[in-house]
Structure 1
């Protein structure tokens, strides 16, 4: 049956709830999907968009999944909050890696880190509650905050600050409606890492203000140049039970597609979030949970090997970007992203065009030299490009060569 013309005239605003209709598509996933589609069509696209290691998941983790798939007990429903043995292992891993002691009952296993992000804000926020969001931010944070009824308040730190916000900026942004500080170190998209002193100063400020802290620690094992990761939960005991820790196996163990993350928090918050998950998705798939159990219980050998490659690529990418006139790229000390300041390129002529925003510049780069990058608009203000160096050395070299040759033509 064909819809009538009158029905087709209705806008999506009348058919989709305002709450969901206002959500923007994940810009990073959109860029990655477009790059992959062009490659599938035979185009020689180099993709710097995806935030995932190019390495396979370690074999012992895959073996654990295969073995789990053969066991009938994993063919059935399991507790919504996660397999008990995995929650125990996550608690032990957290103590091992962060020095933060938690009980397994404080752990909720989620369908990837994104579900942990959403459920944390959905559990903590009431309509109108404000969340301080250090900016540039990962594209999902403000969408999850808004979906929970909250208000993201951007606190921007540019390259002159190493993309690190300070207490003075946070103090200026706080209001009577502020309930949560989002804290992310190492950072996606900038690769910035807060020093132990900076972590303590910010955490003590939040504690004095009576704020909750939601800290995303998924890049905890990806730091370079002898820069140490510091968990705000451990560094600032004064925060007490007003901390929610987010993490997962995706980045450390090259398991982005397995979709296992977790949130750790006080019992009442975790219980409420588990109730939400019980209605949303029930349990995380059991086979990936057993793979995650093998991962967090095993050695960190795989990530140490990956870091050698990431470090080499990081240095090559940053050096190449800073050699381009009009580009400034601070050296990232964590994660696997370079965040380039391209504001000096905007408005200059490139291939007959004058891109006024980083979104326009990214589109032009993809069209003219078939290199996919994510524009700054996905992470906050315009004027920046995020490039992931979690791809092969040959592709990275070819991609930055194309960028250098193209951007050198700017007039």
Structure 2
């Protein structure tokens, strides 16, 4: 397959001034830093994943929840484990299937590394309609697509990626090895056309790409680029100065957490060190900043010796509800346009909730923490990914389920990264947010 150059749409006007939507804080739910927020506790957790050779370089990142319509008790959670590939869990958080990430094309090339995952329901393939799990393979700069087969309880995922699928952003393998590759992901089915898409962000860049998923021969799935858009990397502050988040030289403020409202066709994208953007899922029009991280506008200098940023004085231009990195965006859908946008605030280990009603400006409505249920079942810290489903899932979760990544599963040895996923009863989350 011939790779075509990116058709890039740059939002130049946004680098000059930031349009921030109104967001009314709910004082009863706590102030800066998440103090006073209610807590919810997980019911179960998945087995730990270890990011070392003994653990298969597996690192939990992002989940998606697939509901089995014929038997909701047999619903599944599909989650990424980076170089460890995919894990499929049942509702008891037990492993059903492990799918390895593919190797790189050569011995000196990076191996597959699965970063984010989302679902597509009922895509028409040449072999019939199917539900799919779509993931970004950051190591190979491609999408990987897996058919979900509820009739195969031990191996529900089958790889149906078109072998001719081209890199998403890179021109060749040398560029892929630079690792500025496919990163965050959200799927979207346009209700007016019935076409399904993947929205993909680029690591260490501000680019978003809209890719249409296409059915190819033999029940395979490919994709084609529709358009791209660049979010800003620098911002005009109220005092007239220009600000960019501090980063290693050559890196731009990337996006990872994303979700699409299927009714309105609105994409929410978390630019990790900036805030949450609201824009059209077709990447047309002008993005608007829904909320900013607390660190927005804080000057910083990168120290090459320590490989860390040294922050200056806070000028007070940041938000009040989320702290860098902002990730783990997911949509709690209610009836008639009601619901909540949930966002992981890594900097203070909290989750922020915003009104789904875009006509009301996505007002902030509260937040919560996921805290330890017992000495053996800890909470969630530095959450990378989250997924919510507001539908009954049998006897275990009759009000629905929230799955969150835990970036510091306990107990750990203090040296190896140990991560996993926590399952939270959605009824508890609704209670924490006041319904």
Task: Normalising by structure 1, report the TM-score.
Answer: 0.24
Pick the structure with more helix per residue. 1
| Rg comparison, structure with higher value | 1
Pick the structure with more strand per residue. 2
Where relative contact order (Cα < 8 A, 6+ residues apart) is larger, the structure is 1
